[in-house]
Amino acid sequence: MLNKKSIDDINVKGKKVLVRCDFNVPLQEGKITDENRLVAALPTLKKLIADGGRLILCSHLGKPKGEPKPELSLAPVAVRLSELLGQEVKFAADPEVVGPNAKAAVAEMKDGDVILLENTRYRIEETKNGDAFSKDLASLADVFVNDAFGTAHRAHCSNVGVTKYIDTAVVGYLMQKEIDFLGNAVNNPERPMVAILGGAKVSSKISVINNLLDKVDTLIIGGGMSYTFAKAQGNEVGKSLLEEDYLDYALEMIKKAEEKGVKFLLPVDTVVTKEFSKDAESRVVEGSMEPDEMGMDIGPKTRELYADAVKSAKTVVWNGPMGVFEFPKFAEGTIAVAQALADIDATTIIGGGDSAAAVNQLGFGDKMSHISTGGGASLEFLEGKELPGVAAANDK
Ligand code: AMP
């Protein structure tokens, strides 16, 4: 369990509550194309409203790199959030985030009112955790709530710096839920526990593999990163994604798994093509590929092997697609794994980022126990690192 104070431990009646949310949603021409993160924020916001807090919401959106970029304004979020909450969310359109609009809006607030500040990354200090902006944010509020799991692995003004200037700093329900799910899965799992790792690169998941080998009963590898393992074991992988610098590391991990008695599963067959395109002609290969071929997905035997390996699992953590799932023709392996997780009676946890997108896009969203809202944050958690955004909250 998370040893941090939460919104259940404080009284916000009549208080100005700065809530760091994760409203970093994808936008296309001013329209929100995936509102999962907004929906995920609602339980915390509703609780604070019901308790009579005066809510000042803040978030970053995209990477405006310290200057106002109209296409990255949070204005559309205020509109959609008003609809979702069923009450007005007043947008404070200050390019400096904490400016005359925000201050006037805060001064007029009544209990249960909600305002949203402009994109915190309009301020250059935000990502540098600079004091001036942390103080500005803190000057608006009496209490700070951090519910932005997606940025918890970063130490920025709006999630860490601000806690230097506001004594009461607690976590919201979403943060609590994320840490409880991921924390239980990693540190206190119901066994057998299986981790499935995929995605493009071994290098980005080294520490995750290493840390998880100390925790899991079975580790399953798929996606682009599997070719480095295949090559290390003496197979030719043609033009597939390959990280030559990590061949030794791959062997080390296989050895570590053996020593620990962890079942380590690698693909036994691969769907290969001669070009990286959505309707490239393909064939299934066991063992070595031809020099002009590249791996795009796990093959049918591997899909069966992996589905079988999770059948008796009680806890499964999955991060990273099994192939180039953005091309429907090469999404079969990722679909098969999603289906296998949907079919079992286990706690199933999907790391954020591409795996969450894949599971939602393929229609398995409501079949999983938990889909994390944080890609980078969930990975760092699986690496066993402390998240600064969580550490900054008051201890219980
Ligand atoms: P990551 O961000 O490391 O989880 O990687 C996700 C990306 O890995 C997705 O965009 C996938 O298309 C890509 N990917 C997965 N398998 C392969 C593969 N066999 N070849 C190339 N890219 C892949």
CB 351 within 8 A of CB 382: yes
CB 129 within 8 A of CB 155: yes
Atom of ligand 1 nearest to the CA of 324: 12
Which residue of 221, 240, 241 sits with most ligand 1 atoms within 8 Å of its CB, as the best mutation to test the pocket?
Answer: 241
Is 396 designated active site?
no
> Is a pLDDT exceeding 90 seen at residue 23?
yes
CA torsion sign for 205, 208, 214, 220 is negative
* Mean pLDDT of all residues belonging to the chain: 96
> Is a pLDDT exceeding 90 seen at residue 357?
no
Question: What is the reported pTM?
Answer: 0.90
Sheet strands side by side (includes 270-273): 282-285, 270-273, 294-298
Q: How confident is the model at residue 358 (pLDDT cuts 50, 70, 90)?
A: confident
Q: How far is CA 24 from CA 5, 74, 81, 191, in A?
A: 25, 9, 13, 35
> Is a pLDDT exceeding 90 seen at residue 361?
no
> Is a pLDDT exceeding 80 seen at residue 95?
yes
From 27-31, 127-131, 387-391, the region with the lowest mean pLDDT:
27-31
Please tell me the predicted confidence (pLDDT) of residue 204: 87
Please tell me the predicted confidence (pLDDT) of residue 213: 96
> Is a pLDDT exceeding 90 seen at residue 168?
yes
Please tell me the predicted confidence (pLDDT) of residue 384: 87
Is 283 designated active site?
no
Please tell me the predicted confidence (pLDDT) of residue 130: 97
Please tell me the predicted confidence (pLDDT) of residue 329: 97
| Residue predicted with more confidence, 173 or 207 | 173
Please tell me the predicted confidence (pLDDT) of residue 375: 86
Q: Can you list the alpha helix ranges (DSSP code H) found in the chain?
A: 36-50, 75-85, 100-107, 131-139, 173-187, 206-212, 226-232, 247-260, 300-310, 332-343, 353-361, 375-382, 388-391
Pocket of ligand 1 (CB under 6 A): 199-201, 204, 223-224, 241, 295-296, 320-321, 323-326, 353-354
> Is a pLDDT exceeding 80 seen at residue 44?
yes
- pLDDT digit string, tens, across residues 324-347: 999 999 999 999 999 999 999 999
Q: How far is CA 247 from CA 230, 232, 250, 288, in A?
A: 9, 5, 5, 16
Structure tokens at 167: 């004594």
Residue 372's identity, in one-letter code, is S
- pLDDT digit string, tens, across residues 214-262: 999 999 999 999 999 999 999 999 999 999 999 999 999 999 999 999 9
